[in-house]
Amino acid sequence: MKKQIFAVVSIIVLIVSVPVLAQKYNFDVENVGQNCNAAYKGLLATADPALPDPFAMHDGTRITDKSEWACRRNEVKKDLEQYEIGPKPAPSTATVRATYSGSTLTVTITTKDGSINLTSTVSGSGNCVAIGMNGNAGNISGCKQIPFKHDQVVAYSMSSDSHNKNDPFYKVYPDLYGKIGKYAAWSWGISRLIDGIVLVKDQLGVDVSKIGLQGCSYAGKMALFGGALDERVTLTVVQESGGGGINSWRYSKAFTARTGTNIEKIDNTSGIWFLQSMKSQNPDKLPYDHHQLIAMIAPRATIILGNPPYEWLGDESGYKSTIAARKVWQAFGLTDYIGFDFAGGHEHCQAASSQTTNVNAFVNRFLKGQNVNTKIEANRPTVSTFVLDTTVAWSVPTLTGTYGGSPTPVDYVPTATAKSNMGLKVTAISKSALNVSFNAKNSGAVAINLYSLKGNLISSAKIQTVAGANYSHSFNASKMPTGFYLVKVSGSGFAEQARVVVP
């Protein structure tokens, strides 16, 4: 019998040795801006068919620095939860354990109300991860396939607009019954599966900085929400997602009114996948639209696939929403991190040959580290006289600074060594008091360094220590953006690192 591997999500301190070079396009946490205290915005007083400004905070100010995107995208998250999908439970509300035995990954999620298991049969090779929605991610080749079986969270159904109280999700969150749509529960399940993958990554033989999601049709929406709401996802492949996916609710309404086309829009989509209340909303009064859902993936990578001959998909709406979302990557200076291919001439969810080629380019670059051109804008659909520029009234800023570690090449990645038991503690009482305390293992000079998650050195100090004595140091973080940072303490024969949130 093969040995079973068991792990628990509770690690806060990372032990480090020497820096190594690496390429990283995702982040180490589910939500970089989780401490932003964002709130949703009320419905617009007057209907406005123009797409809302993705750079405008709810208070009316516009972001100018990349670090501010963390809180802006959390405002969009709150809007989506309020009007569209209901709340996605925070990771802090559950304990996650994972085992890997044979070819089966089992992730156990426990809350104060109960426990459920997610299981996935692992196949394939490579050190990158391909998570398909309810099956293998067929468009992501050369990676370990670890499917997300969505019925293990809430069952897929189009039979009615009712929810099943016996679905596993409601065993762990019974209070959310009747208060969420399925995309909230499914995106939560994707994140918990990723938790499990992170826990047993060494046994799986995978690099968790290389995680891809892929889905098509209703599962294309699922992949989009999953990638938008979890910043550990490196590459999101969104295939033929239609209304409720990449499409703008506003554009879909306008196209139907102008042309009489039969496309999925806010009043005829599934009320079981979304909040039932959403279907009665006037999309022109929503404080957000789905170009902002797409943009929540920024500055990570995504490629979007369409199929224009399928009228129900409403690809003209999806294309123009994608072009509007692309402006956020433009503000980051990363337009080659978002690509699209709206090729037709193939069956629903069967990728055209150009789409397979273009997805492979994104996979090779962002999941396999190859030097590949991903400036891909292929097979634009035929568009009507409903001109995009008339509904995008906002300018594109050039954002300065860095974002949560930034998905640009990383020049510092910690690697594990034996635990040093220094008792390192880092607390951020305020921006002017980021306190570091530790026990010196040996006598001599000790370096205390403060890094961004990207690995850029922000501040440093050196002190002389005596073995066994306790020491402390305080950094002034008053000019540092809110977010996650790393503190490393190293001396003769020991090194230890901890992550801290600057408020």
Strand partners, 486: 451, 499
Residue type, 322: T
Can the peptide bond before residue 287 be classed as cis, meaning omega within 30 degrees of 0?
no
Half-sphere exposure in the Cβ direction for 379 (13 Å, CA): 20
Catalytic residue list contains 291? no
CA 343 to chain centre: 26
Q: What is the layout of strands, in order, in the sheet containing 129-132?
A: 144-145, 129-132, 211-216, 235-239, 301-305, 338-341, 377-378
Q: Of 141, 209, 217, 270, which residue is the catalytic one?
A: 217
Looking up tokens 């949703």 gives 40
Computed over its alpha carbons, how large is the radius of gyration of the chain? 23
- Residue 279 makes CB contacts below 8 A (sequence gap 6+) with 266, 267, 268, 269, 271
- Residue 80 makes CB contacts below 8 A (sequence gap 6+) with 288, 293
Distance CA 406, CA 399 (A): 12
Are 249 and 49 contacting, i.e. CB atoms less than 8 angstroms apart?
no
Instruction: Report the 10 Å Cβ neighbour count for 225.
Output: 32
Distance CA 271, CA 279 (A): 7
Distance CA 420, CA 496 (A): 7
> What stretch of H or E contains 408?
none
- Taking CA atoms, 296 is separated from 28, 80, 174, 269, in Å, by 16, 11, 28, 22
Catalytic residue list contains 125? no
Q: What is the layout of strands, in order, in the sheet containing 13-14?
A: 13-14, 494-502, 483-491, 444-452, 457-465
Nearest to residue 402, comparing CAs of 292, 484, 461? 484
121-125 CB contacts, 8 Å cutoff, 24+ apart: 121/147, 122/146, 122/204
Q: Of 157, 348, 437, 459, which residue is the catalytic one?
A: 348
> What stretch of H or E contains 405?
none
Are 335 and 203 contacting, i.e. CB atoms less than 8 angstroms apart?
no
Burial (CB count <10 Å: 0-12, 13-18, 19+), residue 458: middle
Which residues belong to the active site? 217, 348
